[in-house]
Structure 1
Amino acid sequence: MRLFGWRARIFTAAVASAGSLLMVPGAPAQAAAPGTVIDTTAHPDGWRGMANGSSVDYWTTRSNGEAVQASGALIIPPGPAPANGWPIMAYDHGTSGLGSGCGGQSDVSRFSRPKEDAILQYFVNKGFAVVAPDFLGLGKFDTGPHPYLETRTEATATIDLVRAAREAHPELSKTWALTGFSQGGHAALGAANLQSSYAPDLDFRGTIASDPASDVEKFVPLAGPYVPEIPGQNGNAIDGFVVSMLAGLRATHPELDLNSYLTPRGQQVLDQAGSLCFNDIMKVVDGTSVGDLLARPLADDRFRAAINEYMTLPTAGYNAPILLLINVTDMVVPSPLHAALVAQLAANGQDFSVVTGTGGHTELNPAMWSAIDAFTARVLATPTRS
């Protein structure tokens, strides 16, 4: 323990902050192109507190290119569409688990999320059609563990839902923007970076990201058998986030042979967690430390390369404005990670602005709401690109 004590202390301190981060089986006979609609289901007025809500099932892809089914929500403002169609706001949600049904966007029967619904209502009231992906593996379809914080599939699930919504509802505009909180902030920034090459036919306007997860991949490789148990609910949350990352990495990078890094207990925990929502994942890891899960340290070149490919957030190559809403007292995604993201975006000359607060994780203060108002006003005032 003495040999590795410094690593234990660094990992525990870093992940204690970063970790608090933040069925429809079968498929149609033949997969279609990403963004193609499989089915839509209209919901009665009052679904998620609004009218004109529906669930959208659609095709997207895994990060290896394999076609896979996904689901999400769509809410359209009441009344006739404007001349150029309803602009779209894509909403990416925060951490919810790894199993089917945990996304809570297309099927709200398992969860009540009034704060989230209020965000969606805000954008609908502004005149946006809102789309909200469950993310891969978290919706109606049992497609294996959700690849938690995998940049590529968060992005494609979001963009492909925008495409599917427009296919199902021609009154939707090609103009769109992104909003995300915590894991959803990570997803929104990943989609904003990818959209210029993945969906150049759409008219993308920018991104709002509240306390986004970033740079976590720099700390996870510090873990090993020397990491002690972190007591209490905070410890369960930290362990749950690490387990979620490792379960997603194991599913998407079989060449890494992640089981070779795990103890038998570690393999058992990842197997159990892969079908659970986050509250139940925390129960599974109760009384278990990250060190109990690992048979050897993660700090080798193979692991670092895999996790970097899996979850690193781009900090260059954005072609539309970014609004970062950052709480400097955030203990979930700790403020030093937010500062690192800001520094990297600035160093790479990206078009972004920052509004800070002193609230809890993803808490919005009046200055942040004013910035959101100004952002949405610019999107709505600028004519749709032909």
Structure 2
Amino acid sequence: MRVIRGWKSSVAMATVSASVLLGLQAAPAAAETPGMLISETPQADGWRPMPNGSVITYWMTGSDGTPQRASGALFIPNGTPPSGGWPVITFDHGTTGLGRGCGGESDPSTAPNSHWHAEEDDIMQRLIARGFAVAAPDYLGLGLFDTGPHPYLELKTEATATIDLLRAARSAHPELSRTWVAMGPSQGGHAALGTGHLQSSYAADLDYRGTIAIDPASDVEKALPIAGPVIPTIPGTAETLGFLSTIFAGVRAARPDIDFNQYLSPVGRTLLDEIDTMCKPEIEARVAGMGIGELLSKPLSDSRVRTAYESYLTVPTSGYDAPILLLLNVTDTTVPSPLHGALAAEFAANGVDFTTVTGTGTHTQLNPQMWSAIDAFLARVK
């Protein structure tokens, strides 16, 4: 998965404004309901390259179903909202790591001078210029709160972080419409698809119009059963091993009932203990030169662990009640393009209402044809 945020540091976390910190302490016990607003802290111009930015803290549904504190960012266009209110796009970011502050939406100082951060900001700027408010979650564990390691690629909490942020934002801003779309690149595409699937039961009172997924992570669970201690170390695979290690850490945190440690070697347990507070670049540096076989004590084909990670990771391929726009680069090597093809084929086989636009760029790169498809898709929302 691609680098979107830079190195996490205690210095960066210390830059969170005092007003935000006061807001974190002000949460009444009665508000511990998913979707309830904890605080909103308006930000000065220049905080991000979008208008009317604010930090939202709120309650969301965690991995075990209990309310957890989370954070995100909200941006609202300038001017007078349309008669029905500003339509909203929830924007889910790509892979950033496991630790507090790695999300970077509510505290961009954790992602200084990042090319990928600028790329996602550019997408959000374009959406706001088209008349949409944008709500961007940090995800569970990646924002302002120490709730343990982020359950990376856990479809359920990606979706609840997104929907519960939308609810909190709407409670603070009645000028936001009921009408909304979910969008995201890479891990964010995985999250947007999970959001589009969950919303019919979790947010049926809102007017959901569809999902835009850019090179989404998908079908990873199909490759995991071959992972085991016999796999040799392959040079130059730090990004892949960092990706897999992050999944393992997420599953271990979200599913204590399966005792994922029993599948790990002593080296693997030590590694996961160390990386669960790190951001993506630190994780990749830590695993450089290691191999997947070093981390595991037994294969991940065991039926019990396989059932757990399949329910944790798998993108549903049926049951959507709104259209999906898949933007896929056939030359993608970060999420290998055959995985994109498999997802599209499964959608087609199950009669999902989806459209695919392809490109030949790098991971999550948008070409003019893709932007035209985004514009046409969003034109049906307003």
CA apart distance, 1:29: 5.3
Matches of residues 6-155 of structure 1 in structure 2 within 5 Å? 28=27, 30=29, 31-111=31-111, 112=113, 113-155=117-159
CA apart distance, 1:204: 0.4
CA apart distance, 1:27: 8.2
After TM superposition, the structure 1 stretch with the greater mean CA deviation from structure 2, 138-147 or 371-380, is: 371-380
Deviations 1:56-104 (A, max 9, x none): 0000011221110000000000112111110000000000000010001
After TM superposition, the structure 1 stretch with the greater mean CA deviation from structure 2, 125-134 or 254-263, is: 254-263
Partners of 2:263 and 2:283 lie apart in 1 by 20
Partners of 1:189 and 1:271 lie apart in 2 by 30
**Contact 1:100-1:275 within 8 A present in 2 as well:** yes
**Contact 1:27-1:69 within 8 A present in 2 as well:** no
Deviations 1:313-340 (A, max 9, x none): 1011111110000111111111111111
- Aligned residue for 1:159? 163
Amino acid at match of 1:138: L
Amino acid at match of 2:155: T
Partners of 1:133 and 1:144 lie apart in 2 by 17
Deviations 1:248-288 (A, max 9, x none): 10011111111111111100100111111000011111221
Are residue 223 (structure 1) and residue 220 (structure 2) matched? no
2:208 pairs with one of 195, 204, 210: 204
After TM superposition, the structure 1 stretch with the greater mean CA deviation from structure 2, 130-139 or 39-48, is: 39-48
Corresponding residue SS for 1:245: helix
Corresponding residue SS for 2:58: strand
Deviations 1:92-121 (A, max 9, x none): 000000001000111101214211111110
**Contact 2:85-2:177 within 8 A present in 1 as well:** yes
Normalised by the size of structure 1, how large is the TM-score?
A: 0.91
Are residue 275 (structure 1) and residue 277 (structure 2) matched? yes
Amino acid at match of 2:90: A
Runs (4 or more) in structure 1 with deviation over 3 Å come to 19-29
Partners of 1:123 and 1:41 lie apart in 2 by 22
Partners of 2:89 and 2:207 lie apart in 1 by 12
**Contact 2:2-2:94 within 8 A present in 1 as well:** no
- Aligned residue for 2:302? 300
Amino acid at match of 1:214: S
Partners of 2:332 and 2:143 lie apart in 1 by 29
- Aligned residue for 1:263? 265
- Aligned residue for 1:3? none
> What 5-or-longer segments of structure 1 have no aligned partner?
1-18, 381-386
1:192 pairs with one of 192, 196, 200: 196
Partners of 1:317 and 1:208 lie apart in 2 by 16
Corresponding residue SS for 2:179: strand
Partners of 1:259 and 1:325 lie apart in 2 by 37
**Contact 1:32-1:59 within 8 A present in 2 as well:** yes
Corresponding residue SS for 1:38: strand
CA apart distance, 1:50: 2.1
Corresponding residue SS for 2:145: coil
**Contact 1:44-1:51 within 8 A present in 2 as well:** no
CA apart distance, 1:51: 2.1
Normalised by the size of structure 2, how large is the TM-score?
A: 0.92
Change (3 A) 1:122 1:194: same
- Aligned residue for 2:326? 324
Partners of 1:288 and 1:214 lie apart in 2 by 24
- Aligned residue for 1:239? 241
Partners of 2:153 and 2:356 lie apart in 1 by 23
Corresponding residue SS for 1:146: coil
CA apart distance, 1:28: 3.8
Change (3 A) 1:200 1:56: same
Cα RMSD after superposing both structures: 1.5
Are residue 169 (structure 1) and residue 179 (structure 2) matched? no
> What 5-or-longer segments of structure 2 have no aligned partner?
5-12, 14-20
Partners of 1:219 and 1:362 lie apart in 2 by 22
- Aligned residue for 1:355? 357
CA apart distance, 1:298: 1.2
